[in-house]
Chain A
Amino acid sequence: MTQTATDGAGSALVAAGIRLRAEDVSLGYGDRLVVDGLDLDVTQNTVTSVIGPNGCGKSTLLRALGRLLVPSRGHVLLDGKRIDKMPTKEVATILGLLPQAPSAPEGLTVGDLVSRGRHPHQAWYRQWSADDESAVAEALTWTNMADLAERPVDELSGGQRQRAWISMALAQGTDLLLLDEPTTYLDLSHQVEVLELVRRLNREVGRTVVMVLHDLNLAARYSDRLVAMRDGRVVAAGEPADVITEPLLAEVFGLRAKVIPDPVAGTPLVVPVGTGA
């Protein structure tokens, strides 16, 4: 498994429905190693959430999956091919990503922001084709942002702004989406709104989503799979009910907690007791 996948192994991955794979991946900034020898598979048509304490390497892992960071060891495979060997524009037609707290220039309208998502499909002489237009219109409709298309992004509320950015990722038309903490800085109702949108994208149009989330209860409710990380390693991965357990919470977060069934969704619900300090 530590070898680079050959074309044969690559098509085997595609046949098994594995869209993204991290293979013995080590990641760091300069000399500092953040992720050490990590393996991870992302299956077609699932919502996967990466959870773990601050500084455990969640966002770093997501950046590597989105080819923003080249592993110092190991590889990331997209549809069985090494992502770092693919033309970046080709990757951008398969995989879209939303960085944590992205920034837009002052005065940019929602319509112009979302239209930027079409960049990988455009050229300097083809900047607003009929395809671009319909994809953007559709993305705005999906996120309920069509009425705000002419408003500057910097004048929006936090929830609206996040929906605008998600629209941009949608307009890109990729069936893989990587979202880095899409609910940060949002109040609870807007967090739920964003995650419901993510789930609809998965259930209704088959988008495969990988996201980093902080809230364990929301992660458990809106994900098919959870990946729990600590100190740059995967401690547990699987369905929410298998991952969110009292021993795991103690191991990963150093948290004493009760896990009960969520009275609404039946997914695990974490009720903290204390840090045990």
Chain B
Amino acid sequence: MTATVEKARRRTPGLVPGRDPLRLGRFSGVWRPRTVVVLVVAAAVLVVGAALNIGRGEFPISVGEVLSVLFGGGDQAQRFIVLDLRLPRTLTGALVGGALAVAGAILQAVARNPLAAPDIIGITMGASAAAVAVIVLSSGFGAVGALAGAVGLPVAALLGGLLTATSIYVLAWRRGVHGFRLVLVGIGMNAILYALVNWLLIAAQVYEAARAQVWLNGSLNARGWEHVVPVGVALVVLVPAALVLAHVLGGLQFGDDTARGLGIRVDAARTALLVVAVGLAAVATASAGPIAFVALVSPQIAQRLVGAPRPPIAASLMVGATLVVLSDLVARTAFGAAELPVGVITAVLGAPYLLHLLVRHGREARA
């Protein structure tokens, strides 16, 4: 083992310990084997978890058969069940998980605060409030309701998320945005929007309230390709943007003065990063509801796995996708005939972590 490491070192001799170079033409970066291992393992777990999830249902299909269908094999019935009926659910879960995790990674890094996840600072709640308003109002209120219903839930959620983020940013802005104030303003905004959602649920007809409640739990039930496409497009556009901006994000980890000294246009960079994060979080929420705590927990898990000083983008993406797919699998299998919404499982996993964060922050604040 050590011999291979020594050999690898000799092949790519680094002048700086811990920062062996990886260079290909114009591209250069630091070779971080631990990140690569995490990405590969997460991808493997994701594929197996997805295959297990797809295989489950009234007509069970084995993992091997699911994988063979995914790579172009299988008979016609299997292809229909896997590709048309079941893949969209799992794919939506993976994409939504990845999008939420990247949004969380960006926000936590920009705010330099692990509490600054979109589900804590009210961005997913803003998207939810808009979506619930659409669900509840579209059947009442005549012309306005009909218009809201036609615009559709995803667009409403996106607008709600962006509007909330803009409000938080404006309220928290005081000659620049500071992470802690962003989190506090966001928590306040979250509470206001939560009250709004509750009011909508109380004011609504029983049937609409029930529909909204299922959506609010974060559910992957009855997801079709129409749910896959928006979040897929958002990921294809915004994740590369996030990876490009990650370089600047590294510089933003220091105080603003240090970052400016390094030639970073701090406010412009921060705004661009926030837009990317909010876009990802809002589109994800539109597709599957506010799946709780994925955006909070995944970047922190990824950060610990790769041993980085801040939430890493690519590893967060993979961890988030895997977390949601595995949670969905548990939600559908662990409770017999009752299939729970995926958000219930992620909440059970994530809530203790949030408590841990709050307790630790409280201790640090006192110390």
Which of chain A's residues has its CB closest to B263's CB?
A92
Interface pair A99/B257, CB less than 8 Å apart: yes
Which of chain A's residues has its CB closest to B259's CB?
A119
**How far is it, in angstroms, between the C-alpha of A156 and the C-alpha of B15 when the chains are bound?**
21
B 247-274 binary contact with A (CB < 8 Å = 1; else 0): 1001101110110111111000000000
Interface pair A103/B19, CB less than 8 Å apart: no
**How far is it, in angstroms, between the C-alpha of A57 and the C-alpha of B264 when the chains are bound?**
25
Interface pair B257/A105, CB less than 8 Å apart: no
In the assembled complex, B352 has its CB within 8 A of some CB on chain A: no
| Interface class of chain A by DSSP | mixed
Selected contact of A99 from candidates B18, B261, B264, CB within 8 Å: B261
Interface pair A102/B257, CB less than 8 Å apart: yes
Interface pair B17/A107, CB less than 8 Å apart: no
Q: Which of under 10, 10 to 19, 20 to 34, or 35 or more describes the interface residues of A?
A: 35 or more
Interface pair A91/B15, CB less than 8 Å apart: no
Interface pair B262/A120, CB less than 8 Å apart: yes
In the assembled complex, A137 has its CB within 8 A of some CB on chain B: yes
A 67-89 binary contact with B (CB < 8 Å = 1; else 0): 11000000000000000000011
In the assembled complex, A63 has its CB within 8 A of some CB on chain B: yes
Interface pair B243/A127, CB less than 8 Å apart: no
In chain A, positions 92-126 with a C-beta closer than 8 Å to chain B are 92-93, 96-99, 102-109, 111-112, 114-117, 119-120, 122-126
**How far is it, in angstroms, between the C-alpha of A79 and the C-alpha of B28 when the chains are bound?**
32
Interface pair A149/B29, CB less than 8 Å apart: no
Given A88-B263, A172-B262, answer yes or no on A105-B310 (Cβ-Cβ < 8 Å): yes
Interface pair B18/A111, CB less than 8 Å apart: yes
Given A111-B18, A119-B251, answer yes or no on A67-B260 (Cβ-Cβ < 8 Å): yes
Interface pair A96/B16, CB less than 8 Å apart: no
Interface pair A150/B17, CB less than 8 Å apart: yes
Given A119-B263, A126-B26, A128-B30, answer yes or no on A102-B16 (Cβ-Cβ < 8 Å): no
Enumerate chain A residues within 8 angstroms of B253, measured Cβ to Cβ.
104-105, 108
In the assembled complex, B244 has its CB within 8 A of some CB on chain A: yes
Selected contact of A140 from candidates B14, B16, B245, CB within 8 Å: B16
Interface pair B261/A150, CB less than 8 Å apart: no
Distance in Å: Cβ of B364 to nearest Cβ of chain A: 11
Q: Which of under 10, 10 to 19, 20 to 34, or 35 or more describes the interface residues of B?
A: 35 or more
Which of chain A's residues has its CB closest to B255's CB?
A103
In the assembled complex, A66 has its CB within 8 A of some CB on chain B: yes
Selected contact of B19 from candidates A66, A90, A108, A112, CB within 8 Å: A112
Interface pair A149/B262, CB less than 8 Å apart: no
Interface pair B262/A117, CB less than 8 Å apart: yes
**How far is it, in angstroms, between the C-alpha of A71 and the C-alpha of B161 when the chains are bound?**
38
Interface pair B112/A88, CB less than 8 Å apart: no
Interface pair A66/B16, CB less than 8 Å apart: no
Enumerate chain A residues within 8 angstroms of B262, measured Cβ to Cβ.
92, 116-117, 119-120, 172
Enumerate chain B residues within 8 angstroms of A127, measured Cβ to Cβ.
28-30, 247
**How far is it, in angstroms, between the C-alpha of A128 and the C-alpha of B86 when the chains are bound?**
43
Distance in Å: Cβ of B362 to nearest Cβ of chain A: 17
Interface pair B263/A128, CB less than 8 Å apart: no
Distance in Å: Cβ of A99 to nearest Cβ of chain B: 4
Which of chain B's residues has its CB closest to A165's CB?
B258
Chain A: residues with CB nearer than 8 A to chain B? Answer: 63, 66-68, 88-93, 96-99, 102-109, 111-112, 114-117, 119-120, 122-130, 132-134, 136-137, 140, 146, 149-150, 172
Q: List 22 A-B contacts (CB under 8 A).
A: A88-B265, A91-B263, A96-B261, A99-B257, A99-B258, A99-B261, A102-B257, A104-B254, A104-B309, A105-B309, A105-B310, A107-B308, A115-B16, A119-B247, A119-B262, A124-B244, A124-B245, A127-B28, A128-B30, A133-B16, A134-B15, A149-B18
Chain B: residues with CB nearer than 8 A to chain A? Answer: 14-19, 21-23, 26-30, 112, 243-247, 250-251, 253-255, 257-258, 260-265, 307-310
Q: Which 9 A-B pairs have the closest CB atoms?
A: A92-B263, A89-B263, A137-B15, A108-B309, A120-B263, A99-B257, A119-B262, A97-B261, A105-B309
Q: A119-B250, A123-B247, A133-B15 are in contact. List 14 more A-B contacts (CB 8 A).
A: A68-B260, A97-B257, A102-B258, A105-B310, A115-B19, A117-B262, A125-B27, A125-B28, A127-B29, A128-B28, A128-B29, A130-B21, A149-B16, A172-B262
